[in-house]
Structure 1
Amino acid sequence: MLEQRLITLIEQRKALFPINREIDRENYPEAISLCLQALPRTPRHKTWLLKTLGDLYYRLGDLSHAAKVFDDVLQQRELSWARLGHSRVLLANRSHDQAIASLKQLIENHPDYMEAYDLLADGLRQQGKLSEAQRVLEQATVQSPNALLRQKQLAEVAEANQDIETAADSWRRTVSLGIHSIHDSADHYLALGQSLSDLCEDDDSTQSAEHATEAIAILGTMEKRFADQPTVGLRSRIVQCRVLFGQGQHREAGALQSSLKADFDRNPPVDPDTSLDYAKTLFRIGSDAEARDLLARLAEQNSGESDLLQRIEALLDEPVGFRQKLKARKLTRSGIEAFEAGDLAAAAAAFTEALEVVPNHSSVNLNLVQVLLKMYEVDPTNHQLLEQCRARLEHLQGLPEQHRQYRRYIALSQKLEGLNQ
């Protein structure tokens, strides 16, 4: 049976060699032309040709022709690869709800079809449903634990959800699976070190000490394994500084930070990720002013990079450890729920408590201003509410124009000015 299958595959490879050659050359138009010519001549390879044809149209961005290939197949027979291709086209056309429904049905019918899990998670990420995307990837990694790229994707989604323990577990597996793989990367070791650093911050438990020891060890392994990469040593020391400070070794962390400052002053890295990570370390060790100066320079140098600017804003808003972030976000959600329910006092209390954790968070500051203004509408004799609004807005006086909350800041400032006249 094995011999017969191998013979069949060899014959298929010979017959389809010209198409595969053009695909390897990334000459997709020619590959499409050869597929179309081969369809009537080699009916025994029809399934492979149709699947390849749909994929090639998709790669070229010809979504209408890709959709037609997959839909024509599905009209004749429900095949999992055609359903997957159909869903991929729907996602590309931003028909997220249809694509997600289609993929969920595909997984229900074929629970071992792992590509469907990956695409479903991607679709949920595009919709901002990160918690649901994480659950899908967790389900997939239970069935297929040795897929490195899927473990990496789960680690990234878990990080975005502030589920640092899951992120660390997935980065561990990613590192382990990558050791003898072409996907082995210093970035995986660094991400694991960063996750472990977060876990051991502001925690004096035995488990925290174990996380700190593991972080130092994995960063040391990274430095040896990728010694030929110029920024590896620098990035390793940035994370180690956070680990040492988080474990109360302030003297050692201070010495390491001094050497890092000398390196940055002498030869500033061109990689924004390194600067962002260093700013995070500066915040953690209490050098807030230095961190803000660094981020201001980084924003100025990359004024056209919207994704990077958002990451800078996020760090400025929440320059705290993940446990504090979770606390602040929980309080913020409570405040929003109370505001929507009409309980203004509870909303103001929740936002005020959140600002004790993240005092510079622009959105939370503006949320509180909005609530206080609403309270003033109910009780226009309480001028203390306006004073509180003014204090919150003055706190955000340096908000840059490119900030996502800038227009809202201006609108609320104008509204407050109108009430004071």
Structure 2
Amino acid sequence: MADLLQIQEPGAAQMPGPQWKAFLELGFRPLYLAGCFWAAVSVALWVFAPGLLRGQLAGVVWHAHEMLWGFIATIAVGFLLTAGANWTGINPLTGKALGVLGASWVVARVAYLVPGNTAFGVAVASELLFFTCAAVALGRAIVGARSQRNYGVPVLVLGLGVANALFLWSAWQGDPVRLMQHFNTGLLCMAVIALLVARRVIPFFAMRAVPGLAIPMHTRSGHWQLAAAGLAIGGGLVGWAQASALFLGVAGVIALVQLSAWKPAAVRRVPLLWILYVGYAALAAGLLVAAAQLSGAVLRAAWPAHVIGVAGFSVLIIGMVTRTALGHLGRPLRTDRLMVCCYGLVIAAAALRLLALLPTELAWSALHASAGSWVLAFALYLWRFFPMLIRPRIDAAAAPIPKPAKIKVRQHPTP
């Protein structure tokens, strides 16, 4: 068991030094670091130093925006830019172009904290540039490779950007009703991306890690699930709450059926896998909670967003940013104690955050404990992975990554 909790690293003499070229090689490197850094900083600001939030976005609006588009969507874009290279054989963004994408993200995060209309305009423009460039880069790679099964991916990324623009416009206009509608649209666009990615990679990862394990990919049910989620988004946009609730419920039930077929008991001793299973289960539960709320159940408005976002997306994210980073860096696919600690801290943060939504005397203490656990989890991730992500792969000399759209990239062991 001890061997499962160790990660064998090369000796100090074999460790290559930091390189800008390596850092800007694939999208996961700068965007995983940026997203996880902002996960820790934004929650620390929101809970422990709200007085520093002096930008045009009000406190809770800033928090909602930054968690969905500043953190969760950023990690998703980093993953998709990297996975897109494997799906198509074409690296969507690398080098200076990837650096410009990262710079636009940084400008947006800083500008949202600065008072004044000019800073807000700069933030909005920078963020829209981020999502547009990411969608276009993915689209060029996917269409160029004629990867028809992935044609919807850049559309979903662009949908995230459009929902973000509408959210920001509603915030500027001071329209809280439309603001929440656009937030929910962005949340569900992100849910579709998460469902699509998780259904592809979780069975793949599990069968590679557990000898003899055979589990179905659920391609057909996945198509029904994505269709149901898409119809739920459409129902929400036109105001058909009951129809949206029905389709969300269908998507959530399908996710639970898929999860049970993936034989969760077989992965209970593999942290890189069970963390993904836990996140997928929470995402399924979040879709059902959202369906219940739309059906008329008396729930606080914050429940669906926090079950889907904190318990679902964030638990999936901490698993994905470790598993995929190790794979693409040529590292052994094993966790160490610190990584498992990160998993436990994010799960604890999610549980405490949901506890804080209950009308009890523990709510305030639970909120602060959740924030502390959350910040510590992502700080530890950065401490562990930052040195790896700014250096070349261990086998970089044998497997260089070419420039985008000219030469096929080396196929890495993760999808």
Q: Same fold (TM over 0.5)?
A: no
TM-score normalised per structure 1? 0.33
Larger RCO (CA under 8 A, 6+ residues apart): 2
TM-score normalised per structure 2? 0.33
Larger Rg: 1
